[in-house]
Chain A
Amino acid sequence: MTTIFGIPLAAFLGQLLIGLINGSFYAMLSLGLAVIFGLLRVINFAHGAQYMLGAFVALLLLQYLGVDYWLALAIAPLVVGLFGALVERTMLSRLYDLDPLYGLLFTFGLALTIEGTFRYLYGAAGQPYSVPPALSGGTNLGFMFLPNYRGWVVAVSLVTCLGTWLLIEKTKLGAYLRAATENTVLVQAFGINVPLLLTLTYGFGAALAAFAGVLAAPIYQVSPLMGTNLIIVVFAVVVVGGMGSILGAIVTGYMLGIAEGLTKVFYPEASNIVIFVIMAIVLLLRPAGLFGKDA
């Protein structure tokens, strides 16, 4: 059998794929965090809860209304996005003039409330969500076996990340957004409805998290705690990448996912702390983060 660094090639590629999948979720979530933070100056602790909500909405739609995966992929982000917009409008928007730490604390409380509610209603155990029939099975690539759904997730996350980047960098709406990030007061003076822009941004970020949640549902089990444990890792990703750039958040997400997957091959004991170790090293060498602008 072919080996690489003394590891069977199949095992190596298998872990690489898992790393790439995890990296896809890190990238999508840190992208959402970066978009929200860029404009609102809020670290959205509830991002993990919103990701979990997306998966749960998909599960409940299937269980109670028989709505399939494809439709859920559209509905769940919409529902969670609206919910996010509502939270922003009624509560979060009152905190913009304060220290950003209050935004973090508020969204932390929000995350606890959402998670607690779902744990109360559906228990802490994970529930399976089956892979849609069109994507079941796998493809033999010759050197490895690729489950179709996993390939789909990697492709969709790449498209989503790229799409969001284009939306922000190349469209008029994105230009408003970037301008508002630079100087809110001036943009408002030009007659652009900045409060609406803030609501839309938060709603969009929440929808993005929910979209990732639906994608994740068939891979990981749907459980109330699936989000928060993930979001702490994503925070580390954000510290490594620095929140200055959208592209930086995406690239760092994939990189760290792959680094984690490779660690699982060579030194499994360290696989769930490797991202934190990388974060510590980056803090030593480049405190602002790999793509960070602020010193």
Chain B
Amino acid sequence: MADMVETTASGERSATAQSIRIGFLLAGLAALAVAPLFLYPVFLMKLLCFALFACAFNLLIGYTGLLSFGHAAFFGGAAYFTAHAVKEWHLTPELGILVGVLGAALLGLVIGFFAIRRQGIYFAMITLALAQMFYFFCLQAEFTKGEDGIQGVPRGHFLGLLDLSTSTNMYYFTLAVFLVGLLVIWRFVNSPFGMILKSIRENEQRAVSLGYSVQYYKLGAFVMSAALAGLAGGTKALVFQFATLTDVTWQMSGEVILMTLLGGIGTLIGPVFGAGLVVTLQHYLATSDFPVTIVTGVVFMACVLLFRRGLVGEFYASRLGRRLGFAYRR
């Protein structure tokens, strides 16, 4: 995608922008720490799960330039794996989530293996088609319980010690998962591996000519993104204590694209904002009879037509953003 925002690892870093970032980070952490006192914890946990999902998706589109239209397979798939592991195998929550992450990574390896054979628009269509195939698998498979989904998943005790059945404990557990996920993403995009991914996004031919096996790097990024989407999906299954078909539909894949696009593709924090906005919007529309789909669709079109950089990206690129020293790239 041509005009994206570059925030991390740009050549020059402004001190003002950096201190704003740190201040913002601290304020954000403080807000998240006290948020359950003011807001409904389940809503917050949902928000965190989707924010992590969007960040995982952004790892692929923002830093490798690959638009996956099938990320629901990893998110919803991991929800099924975790729910099954915890309910049927009686694993502890952390091991259950690990099962979800590994399952999603494996699924990512398979889908990625086929999808990276084509680029751009074809890549999007292939991921969409393969994710739809996974949807049909989930519809028919025994362990997913078909239309009912896996219900009554126990949250269990974290490390056998901390009881997660209370929403406060579960909230801080989810927050910890979210922060760990974000840290992994941050570390990943700033690693040498992440740098090579960016070079592939910028100019694939040149990356090839420099001797990098572009396909391996793409597949690596795809698996990483799938695994992190799985982390979000597995956690969501514990939060809501069920896993259903909703999370593996193409609509869900579209939703995560919207979150990322709305917040800002290629910005580290944008998807968090995007997810926050979309989840909040859905939360309020759920009580009215006005369908969410229409709003989602209109916001989608508006984003593509009017602000392709997303909210955070547009801020970085605005006059104020530039004056404060946020780097951006056309």
Selected from B118, B129, B295, the residue in CB contact (under 8 A) with A236 is: B129
Cβ proximity bits B1-42 to A, threshold 8 Å, 1 near / 0 not:
111000000000000000000000000000000000000000
Q: A283-B114, A284-B114 are in contact. Are A276 and B130 (CB under 8 A)?
A: yes
Interface members, chain A 105-155 (any B CB < 8 Å): 105-106, 108-117, 119-120
Check if A254 is an interface residue, CB within 8 A of chain B: no
Contact partners of A104 in chain B: CB under 8 A: 67, 121, 124
**Distance in Å from the Cβ of A271 to the closest Cβ of chain B?**
10
- Say which residue of B250, B291, B298 sits within 8 Å of A228 (CB atoms): B250
Decide yes or no whether B208 CB sits under 8 A from chain A. Answer: no
Partner pick for A106 among B67, B114, B129, B305, CB 8 A cutoff = B305
Interface residues in B203-254 (C-beta closer than 8 Å to A)? 250, 254
Tell me, yes or no, whether B311 is within 8 Å of chain A by CB. Answer: no
A-side contacts of B296, CB under 8 Å: 109, 112, 116
Q: Is the CB of B136 within 8 A of A272?
A: yes
User: Number of contacting residues on B, CB 8 A?
Assistant: 41
Q: Does A290 contact B (CB under 8 A)?
A: no
Contacts of B126 in A (CB 8 A): 239, 279, 283
Q: A117-B294, A228-B250, A284-B114 are in contact. Are A239 and B122 (CB under 8 A)?
A: yes
Per the bound structure, the CA–CA distance linking A102 and B303 in Å amounts to: 10
Q: Min CB distance, B309 to chain A, in Å?
A: 12
**B67: nearest chain-A partner, CB-CB:** A101
Whether the pair A239, B129 counts as a contact (CB closer than 8 A) is yes
Mark A228-244 against chain B: 1 for CB-CB distance below 8 A, else 0.
Answer: 10001101101100000
Q: B281-304 toward A: CB 8 Å interface, digit per residue (1/0)?
A: 000000000111111111111011
| Shortest Cβ distance from residue B152 to the other chain A in the assembled complex, whole angstroms | 27
Chain B residue at minimum C-beta to C-beta distance from A119: B291
Instruction: Give the CA-CA distance A215 to B136 in the complex, in Å.
Output: 27
Q: Which residues of B contact A (CB under 8 A)?
A: 1-3, 67, 114, 117-118, 120-122, 124-126, 128-130, 132-133, 136-137, 140, 250, 254, 257, 261, 290-301, 303-305, 308
